[in-house]
Structure 1
Amino acid sequence: MDVARLTSSLVRIRSENPPGSTADLIEFVKEFLDSLGVKSRVVSHPGGRDDLITTEPGPRLLLCGHVDVVPAIPDDWTHDPHSGEVAEGYVWGRGATDMKGGCAALLIAYRDLVESGIAPKAQFAFVCDEETGGPYGIRSLLAKNLLLPRDCLIAEPTPVMSPAVGQKGLYRVDLSFRGRPGHSSLYPMVGKSAIMAAVDLIGYLREVHAHPFPVSEDLQPLVAQSARVFHDVFGIEGGDNILTRVMFNPGRIEGGEKANIVAEQCRMELDIRVPWGCSLDDLRKGIAEHAQDVTIREMDVAEPTLTPTDALVVRTVCREVERVYGMPAVPFLQWAASDAKYLRAEGFDVVEYGPGEIPTLHAVDERVSVEQLEKVVDVYRGVIRAYSG
């Protein structure tokens, strides 16, 4: 089986999160590893939320990937999102980029080395719920001490020449505002609107976003490199603002009872990305001070994280990217978050590098190039071989 066919097979096995069941896909991966004589363990959680770790002795490198994907509605897709169709030089479907293509490339690279007579000194961890914060996945495996600190490669999609060595912090909260109802014809003289309290908080966050946070001198080159990557991938000008400012998204708001009643309740799910130099504690305090009569439930909290560019795993991945593509690799800082933040917090040196068409991530017509899959397999072979010598 080649990497495109394996990616296609993984895409066809449904693993949307929600609802979150990965049991069928993890069983498929286990059978693949069994065929190579690799010992593994399935760690099960309610709702079919299964993880898999390999248990071969003496691993020097952790190879990590998540097998859950965000949901997809088939409307407007060129190819059915659950078909895994291989056409026009791509594997199509939900998860092809994020990140079943990367998982397939890890498995094929490992298989190739086994079949060439090399005993890879690497451990796999395939997890069930990166898309929903990892409580049953990477966080659970770390809490149970099933993964011990070592160098780590996560097969998350990245730009072709740019391994990701750090990512912004995350502050994701659920806010429940309480107001005081009254007749709408008398508002704002009478009553207190929970909806307007949410609006006021958004106004405060706009003010916070307007001011960049200065980064340390050693981070400045990475910020500049990353800005160029953002321009090349997304066509975004001023990409340094993405890394030096608080970015926020009120992803879901619902509230009120009726148009002629001052809103008694409002709920907002808020996602905030925290730059280097921004105090998470100060941000928390500011939100609490500007959100009146609110209950704040923290869903996911993480400081910005970074693996030094001179770390062995960074140098190894960059060297192999340069070997395969014949051009210098350019490490960058990531705008989003992943399981890397939890691993770094526990002492792992982590690099993310993987195949994918980044603009289609979580989007309609998600796909991954067959050519890129094959080249990333070559990169992974080199990385695993370097840790297995």
Structure 2
Amino acid sequence: MDVARLTSSLVRIRSENPPGSTADLIAFIAEFLDSLGVKNRIVSCPGGRDNLVTTEADPRLLLCGHVDVVPAIPDDWTHDPYGGEVVDGYVWGRGTTDMKGGCAALLVAYQDLIESGVEPKVQFAFVCDEETGGEHGIRSLLAQDLLTPRDCLIAEPTPEMSPAVGQKGLYRVDIAFRGRPGHSSLYPLVGKSAVMAAVDLIGYLREVHAHRFPAGKDLQPLVEQSARVFSEVFGIEGGDEILTRVMFNPGKIEGGEKANIVAEQCRMELDVRVPWGCSLEGLRRGIAEHAPDATIRETDVAEPTLTPPDARIVRTISHEVERVYGRPAVPFLQWAASDAKYLRDEGFAVVEYGPGEIPTLHAVDERVSVAQLERAVDVYRGVIRDYAS
């Protein structure tokens, strides 16, 4: 099966998260692997959250991808987000870039090598819930010891010349502020506003963001390379600041009861990205100290992670990218987070590299070019062949 057609087939099997069921899609991948004679196991979690791992002996490389996608409202799309149409040199639809195209490219590269007589020494892991933190996906597989540390390639979308070798840390919390109600005409002399407590915390985070955490001399070249990648791909200047400052987003705030009542309650969902050199524990304490009457529930916590640029997996993927594109690869550091952080924490040497139109990720008219998919297959074939030798 060619990679564009396989990507289209994966897009047409719906796997939005929420609600989170991946059972049909994982069954399709299991059937594909069965046809190649590859032993595999489906690992099920509640709500149809299915994962798949292959069980061939003595794998040297883990190939990983997530099959869940964020939801799409079709109203503004040029093509049906779940139609998987191949038009104008692109496969269109939700998940084409993030990251069903990457999953398809891994599978086709593997199929090509099997059919050419190569015996790949790899393990696959396709997981169900990267978009919501990995509780039932990669974290569950790690907890069950179904994956053991080795070099790992995740087919997450990246710029075509730039494998991702590290990620900022993550501190994601749900904060419930409590106030003391009173008549609004007497505030702030009477009452204590939960809404204003949230505002005060945001003020503190602005102060934290203003502080720069300089990268060490070992990281500085990667920071500079990454800033150039941000500029070229996204048109974002000041990319070095993205990697050296605490970035924060109070993504959801709701609270208060009525305009003439001092707010008794307020809830904030807060996402904070932590740079290298910033103490995560110190940041955690600072947030708690500036929300003394709040209940803080941590939903995802991770230190910054890095795979050394001289690691075998980084050198191998960089060599294959250069072979396919005819230009040197430029490894970079990510501003976002993925399952890579959990794997690195368990001792895996992880690099991310995959096809995709990055600006359409999670956006309307998400798509991936057929040419990118085909080049990704070529890169992956080279990586898998290297680990088979």
SS at match of 2:267: strand
1:223 aligns with 2:223: yes
CA-to-aligned-CA distance 1:267-304 (integer Å, 9 cap, x gap): 00000000000000000010011113100000000000
What SS does structure 1 have at the residue aligned with 2:74?
A: coil
- Could you say which residue in structure 1 is the equivalent of 2:138? 138
Instruction: Work out whether residues 197 and 292 of structure 1, in 8 Å CA contact, stay in contact via their aligned partners in 2.
Output: no
1:70-103 deviation digits (Å, cap 9, x = unpaired): 1111121111111111101111111000000000
Structure 2: runs of 5 or more not aligned: none
Query: Is the counterpart of residue 65 in structure 1 residue 74 in structure 2?
Result: no
Please tell me whether residue 159 in structure 1 is matched to residue 167 in structure 2. Answer: no
Rounded Cα–Cα distance in structure 2 between residues aligned with 1:304 and 1:157: 20
Q: Which residue of 2 aligns with 1:174?
A: 174
> 1:131-187: CA deviations, max 9, x gaps?
010000000000110000000000000000000000000000000000000111111
In percent, how many aligned pairs have the same letter?
84
What secondary structure sits across from 1:350 in the alignment?
A: strand
- SS of the residue 1:83 aligns to: coil
Rounded Cα–Cα distance in structure 2 between residues aligned with 1:217 and 1:182: 54
Tell me the equivalent position of 2:83. Answer: 83
CA apart distance, 1:213: 0.3
Q: Tell me, yes or no, if the aligned pair for 1:92 and 1:368 is still in contact at 8 Å.
A: yes
Q: What residue in structure 2 maps to residue 8 of structure 1?
A: 8
- Give CA-to-partner distance per residue, 1:287-327, whole Å, 9 cap, x none: 01111310000000000000000000000000000000000
Q: Structure 2: how far apart are the matches of 1:384 and 1:224? A: 30
Residue 315, structure 1, aligned to residue 294, structure 2: no
- Could you say which residue in structure 2 is the equivalent of 1:343? 343
Map 1:30-109 onto structure 2 (within 5 A).
30-109=30-109
- Counterpart in the other structure of 2:267: 267
How far apart, CA to CA, are the structure 1 residues paired with 2:6 and 2:122?
20
Letter in 2 for 1:331: P
The structural deviation recorded for 1:382 is: 0.2
Amino acid at match of 1:22: T
Tell whether the 8 Å contact from 1:76 to 1:364 is kept in structure 2 after alignment. yes
Which residue identity is paired with 2:198? A
Instruction: Give distance in 2, aligned partners of 1:191 and 1:365.
Output: 49
Distance 2:342 2:165 in 1: 14
Runs of 4 or more consecutive aligned structure 1 residues displaced over 6 Å after TM superposition:
none
SS of 1:182's equivalent in the other structure is coil
Number of the residue aligned with 2:305:
305
2:363 corresponding residue in structure 1: 363
Tell me how far 1:214 sits from its aligned partner: 1.2
Query: In the TM superposition, what whole-angstrom CA distance separates every residue of 1:171-228 from its partner, at most 9, and x where no partner exists?
Result: 0000000000011111111111101100110111011001110111000000000000
Tell me which residue corresponds to 2:22.
22
Distance 2:339 2:75 in 1: 30
Aligned letter for 2:326? G
Aligned to 1:244: 244
Amino acid at match of 1:59: P
Specify the alignment match of 1:186 in structure 2. 186
Distance 1:311 1:230 in 2: 23
Query: What is the root-mean-square deviation in Å for CA atoms of aligned residues?
Result: 0.5
Amino acid at match of 1:170: L
CA distance in 2, matches of 1:86, 1:214: 45
The corresponding residue for 2:199 is: 199
CA–CA separation in structure 2 for the residues paired with 1:292 and 1:263: 16
Q: Helix, strand or coil: the match of 1:202? A: helix
Q: Report the TM-score, using the length of structure 2 for normalisation.
A: 1.00
